[in-house]
Amino acid sequence: MTDIQFKVAKTVREAASLMAAAKGKGRILAGGTDLLVQMKAGMVTPGTIIDVKKIAEMVSITETKGSYRIGAATPAAVIGEHKKLRKAWPGVVEAINLIGSTQVQGRASAGGNLCNASPAADSVPALVAAGAIVTIQGAKTRRQVPVEKFNSGPGKTTLKAGEIVVSLTLPARPKTSGDAYLRLIPRTEMDIAVVGVGVSLTMKGDTCVSARVGLGAVAPTVLLVEAAAKALTGSKLDAKALDAAANACSAACRPIDDKRGTIRYRTKIAGVLLRRATAIAADRAKGISRPAHSQQGH
Amino acid sequence: MSNPKYKWIGTRPDRPDGADKVTGRARFAADFNLAGQLIGKVLRSPHAHARIKSIDTSKALALPGVKAVVTAKDFPEQADLTVPAGEMQVNLRDVTRNIMAREKVLYEGHAVAAVAATTEAIAKQALSLIKVDYQILPHVIDVAEAMKPGAPVLHETLMTEGAKPPATKPSNIAKRIEFAKGDTKAGFAKAEVIIERSFTTQAVHQGYIEPHAALASASEDGQVQIWSTTQGHFQVRGFCARLLNMETSQIRVTPSEIGGGFGGKTVVYLEPLAVRLSQKSGKPVKMTMSREDVFRASGPAPGGNVHVKIGAMKDGRIVAGECTVEMQAGAFPGSPVGPACMCSFACYDIDNVFIVGFDVVSNRPKVAAYRAPGAPISSFAVESTIDMLCQQLNMDPIDLRLKNAATKGTKTAYGVTFGVIGMVETLQAAKDSPHYKTPVKPGFARGVAAGFWFNVGADSSAAAHVGEDGTVTVISGNPDIGGSRASLALMAAEELGIDYDKIRPVIADTASIGFNFVTGGSRVTFATGLAVVNSVRDLIRDLKSRAAKTWGVDPDGVIWENGMAKPAGSNVGTFEPLSIAQLAATAGKTGGPINGHAQLNVTGAGPGFGVHVCDLAVDADTGIVTIGRYTAAQDVGTAIHPSYVEGQLQGGAVQGIGWALNEEYIYNAQGRLANAGFLDYRIPVASDLPMIETVLVEVPNPTHPYGVRGVGEVPIIPPLATVGNAVARATGLRMLDLPLSPPKLSAALDAARPLMAAE
């Protein structure tokens, strides 16, 4: 039996150097809701576990001129209770609040959800739609990368040896903007997305002036669907634009047939959820309060 | 609600085991530990079907910390002998092969070897050092495929029992059974409407939250103690004695609190292995299954293919019914195809019925009992077909069923003539329910279906001991899976005329009370309840004789009333009544300890009927079903503790809804289970469902002193068709194959859309 080292980092730099020292056997412990499950299942055997929960920058939310920086290890429940963030980015917050169950929310984090690199991660399509930027700390330097470029495949990230994710930054945007995230699961809780769609829109009157669409669980990584965004941008979100955007989402799908859903079903649902998420995001952009009553938005 | 006839029966006191369960003090099987115990682990087959050419355990045994290894060689061969296990029958020759593969592995997850080591990590490492040389064989998962000529044969000696003409070569069809009443040919000739369809259902797991676990300690003198989670510790003792060639008196089994069983804990998996490992190592051995083990190697309930043909007159009177059931047995013969056949048409009084059943083996884990074994499968097919009849004749689904309902004197296809039953009363209660009287909300549709289960009696023992302060311990031997301790205590309180909280119900180990058949078949409140009532009556007889002695009168001159001994009349003399506490205080002078006991084989179980109503909506784009309202009405005999009766109805309904909507075993091309966990084997979660409303219909069972009928099985039967019938009415689409999962329902709706538009 090999012993597992447990280290508590006080600063981001310390965490990064511990990570580098672990020589590829280091694992970051934020909420641990993926790590501990994987360890119990024998899927991972870390050499060093680096606890980052004591690093203020990684467990806090700050606002600068309308832009929000969310520490990568901030518990989802804390994010859900942040009133201003919830008002500014309701779609991102509702997506983060779908990670795991109510109990898991007390520990699970958006950074962890991103680094776990599941194509079905709930928070990621909403973050992609939001245009979130990931801040990464290496042993010596910091860098930033758009969230849609962060993962490279199921369970794989583009982090280099010794790098850790510090925070996620949501850009400032006009007041007439809104976002939404919808996922399809066969149940109402305790499940993994068969398809997840995040939509972020900025409206000018009835016209959509900019849009971003994130699509999850239908390809090896969460996709930024630019063709869908293009179909929505400049339109009044009429039937023709929605048809084109829904078709673009379906066309972007490269899903697999598995126990959670068929290729045919996933492809269809990508379009269905695009329409529904767009309607919610548009209402929010117009200041109409739209709680997503159910996850499928019906 | 309380029953006006009784003081205690029909009330809802806290359960005796409640405080320990809500505070976490209650001990489940994995909570038992002994000093010096080893951890046992099982090596399981990665193949669906393979011949075991050799097993080399030498490297595992040589690993420091490993204290024992067992394989099939450590268990004696068993005779071809069938014995009852819960509501099912098992063959000992097969049981020993199921707990530890012998010549072949027959399903992925089949146990091949087991080790005991000082730590779990060492035990796991030891498993990786066992070398099994497999010759992989072609496998078959699907029942229809397994029945075809040329299918891979699991058992080279298996000849179809009851085949017409007699079987001449081995196949996967273990048995053909047949039930007939009247003349279906004539019935169908007379019928004005005939509907015929084929249905399929998938294998489902009982889904108990507590995985199987056992702790065994074998002493040097040959005695063995076992602590395990089971619905029948006497069966654990019996199976271990047989499988290990021991005397039953050498084995003492203590049941833990049980985290759900639903029929799945009426058989043994770990216990014989833990005992043998303990005997070989000289140390106590603890074994627990992971959730994945539970899915791959325990349970499940079978899936089945059912063909139904129903003929009726235009007024809704059913004149003929035929049903063919092909049922998965798993790797060894013994599916519940018998009860599936018998229950299929049992709700109805039909003159002409013909039913055929096939018991079919395939490369799946051996099926175990699950609430009303078999019945939900045939009932889904029959009740769906009856719903189509209702639609075709434009009749209310409850009215059509009332027109055909079985009543006292109805002769069933399997030969029994019903006594006092409550099918009509239950249909009427469903019709009168607040739910059925409320119009269906826009966007929703309503489904109705019925179900029947026999309920069982069988062997029970009980004792009632009076403490020196006059409080009473009621001792029985059935693990409490549904609030039975509370129900037994309520009946004892009613009988004795003392308060519920003066009675402590206890579940004794196999050495501390006489034999009890398993907790299953909905028998405990009925049969063990009767044993408790009789033990209390025996106790009252003793109490009266003590009073008689005290007063110097004849025992016949004493009556027992409201917890007191009283003179039977003025001719006996004038004496102050004596309470149980007073009699206990003077027991030493009147003959010593005051105890009662009873043991009997209980017959006369009252059958139960259920009628369920469901309102649901179907999201036409996603295929997702949302249940808006659900009501379960059932003939429950007498509700001893109504909360736990309601709990049975609600739990059964939820499990049936899961069976209908999402639960299924998914196999890959290699015959390996792809969804061996609660993430992708989807039982309903609380947020999926509304509160299940219940209607308790009380038609007392005349053979029980308090009118008890079993209530635990019936409620899982109607939901499959209730949900399916509502989906059919919501979408105009009759789904013949369960589960109605979103991808499947969505694809069916897409396929039907152009057809429907054309109509």
Domain ranges in chain B are 29-137+206-297, 139-204+300-414, 430-443+606-759, 457-602
Residue B709 has pLDDT above 60, yes or no: yes
Chain A, 271 to 290: residues with Cβ < 8 Å from chain B are: 272
Q: What is the pLDDT of residues B528-540, one digit of tens each?
A: 999 999 999 999 9
Residues A208 and A257 occupy one common structural domain: yes
Residues A250 and A204 occupy one common structural domain: yes
Q: What is the pLDDT of residues A164-186, one digit of tens each?
A: 999 999 999 999 999 999 999 99
Element (H, E) at B286: strand B285-288
Q: How far is A196 from chain B (nearest CA, A)?
A: 13
* pLDDT for position A117: 97
CB B723 within 8 A of CB B660: yes
Whether A125 maps to a domain, the answer reads no
Residues A254 and A225 occupy one common structural domain: yes
> Does any CB of chain B come closer than 8 Å to the CB of residue A126?
no
CB contact under 8 A, B743 and A258: no
- Read off the pLDDT band of A1 (50, 70, 90): very low
CB contact under 8 A, B624 and A265: no
- Read off the pLDDT band of B164 (50, 70, 90): confident
CB B594 within 8 A of CB B466: yes
Whether A199 maps to a domain, the answer reads yes
Under 8 Å CB pairs connecting chains A and B tally to 64
CB B199 within 8 A of CB B735: no
Mean pLDDT of chain A: 94
Q: Among A108, A143, A170, which residue terminates a domain?
A: A170
ipTM value > 0.90: yes
Please, which residues have CB within 8 angstroms of residue B84's CB and are 6 or more apart in sequence?
Answer: B90, B517
C-alpha to C-alpha distance for B100 and B142, rounded to whole angstroms? 24
> Does any CB of chain B come closer than 8 Å to the CB of residue A259?
yes
CB contact under 8 A, B743 and A261: yes
Residues A166 and A74 occupy one common structural domain: yes
- Alpha helices, H only, chain A: 12-21, 35-40, 76-80, 83-88, 90-96, 102-105, 110-116, 123-130, 226-232, 239-252, 263-285
Element (H, E) at A117: none
Phi, psi of A274 (to 5 degrees): -60, -45
CB contact under 8 A, B742 and A262: no
Return the CATH superfamily for domain B29-137+206-297: Aldehyde oxidase/xanthine dehydrogenase, a/b hammerhead (3.90.1170.50)
Of A192, A262, A296, the CB nearest to B743: A262
Phi, psi of B486 (to 5 degrees): -65, -45
- Read off the pLDDT band of A297 (50, 70, 90): low
Mean pLDDT of chain B: 96
Q: Strands of A177-184's sheet, edge to edge?
A: A177-184, A195-204, A207-216, A223-224
Q: Among A141, A170, A199, which residue terminates a domain?
A: A170
The correct CATH number of B139-204+300-414 out of 3.30.360.10, 3.30.365.10, 1.10.10.10, 3.40.1110.10 is: 3.30.365.10
Please, which residues have CB within 8 angstroms of residue B329's CB and are 6 or more apart in sequence?
Answer: B174, B302, B335, B337, B359, B360, B361, B362, B366, B367
Residues A81 and A145 occupy one common structural domain: yes
Report the pLDDT averaged over residues A107-132: 97
Residues A104 and A185 occupy one common structural domain: no
Q: What is the pLDDT of residues B643-675, one digit of tens each?
A: 999 999 999 999 999 999 999 999 999 999 999
The correct CATH number of B457-602 out of 3.40.50.300, 3.40.50.1370, 3.90.100.10, 3.30.365.10 is: 3.30.365.10
Residues A241 and A268 occupy one common structural domain: yes
* pLDDT for position B540: 98
Cα-Cα-Cα-Cα torsion B621, B625, B629, B631, nearest 10 degrees, comes to 150
> Does any CB of chain B come closer than 8 Å to the CB of residue A217?
no
C-alpha to C-alpha distance for A294 and A279, rounded to whole angstroms? 14
Among A261-275, B83-97, B387-401, name the one with the lowest average pLDDT.
B83-97
Residues A187 and A100 occupy one common structural domain: no
Residues in chain B: 759
Residue B68 has pLDDT above 80, yes or no: yes
Judging contacts by C-beta atoms under 8 Å, the chain B residues touching residue A260 are 680
Look at chain A and report how many structural domains it folds into: 2
Domains B29-137+206-297 and B430-443+606-759 share a fold: no
Residues A202 and A277 occupy one common structural domain: yes
Residue B169 has pLDDT above 60, yes or no: yes
Residues A147 and A205 occupy one common structural domain: no
* pLDDT for position A296: 60
* pLDDT for position B699: 94
* pLDDT for position B90: 82
CB contact under 8 A, B688 and A189: yes
C-alpha to C-alpha distance for B463 and B441, rounded to whole angstroms? 53
Q: What is the pLDDT of residues A15-56, one digit of tens each?
A: 999 999 999 999 999 999 999 999 988 889 999 999 999 999
* pLDDT for position B453: 97
Q: What is the pLDDT of residues A50-67, one digit of tens each?
A: 999 999 999 999 999 999
* pLDDT for position B162: 95
Look up the CATH number of domain B430-443+606-759: 3.30.365.10
Judging contacts by C-beta atoms under 8 Å, the chain A residues touching residue B684 are 187
Q: How far is B736 from chain A (nearest CA, A)?
A: 20
Residues A163 and A277 occupy one common structural domain: no
C-alpha to C-alpha distance for B135 and B105, rounded to whole angstroms? 10
Q: Of B345, B363, B359, give the one whose Cα is nearest residue B401.
A: B345
Residue B560 has pLDDT above 60, yes or no: yes
C-alpha to C-alpha distance for A178 and A224, rounded to whole angstroms? 17
Which residue range is the domain that position A233 belongs to?
177-285
CB B459 within 8 A of CB B519: no
Whether A275 maps to a domain, the answer reads yes
Residue B597 has pLDDT above 80, yes or no: yes
Judging contacts by C-beta atoms under 8 Å, the chain B residues touching residue A259 are 666, 674-675, 680
* pLDDT for position A42: 85
Whether A208 maps to a domain, the answer reads yes
Rg (CA), chain B: 27
> Does any CB of chain A come closer than 8 Å to the CB of residue B209?
no
Q: What is the CATH number of the domain that holds A203?
A: 3.30.390.50
Q: How far is B682 from chain A (nearest CA, A)?
A: 8
Residues A85 and A202 occupy one common structural domain: no
Q: Could you identify the residue written with the tokens 């061969």?
A: B77
The pair of three-digit structure tokens given for residue B563, joined into one six-digit string: 């917890």
Q: Could you identify the residue written with the tokens 């719903």?
A: B387
The pair of three-digit structure tokens given for residue B384, joined into one six-digit string: 């769906």
Give the three-class secondary structure for B451.
strand
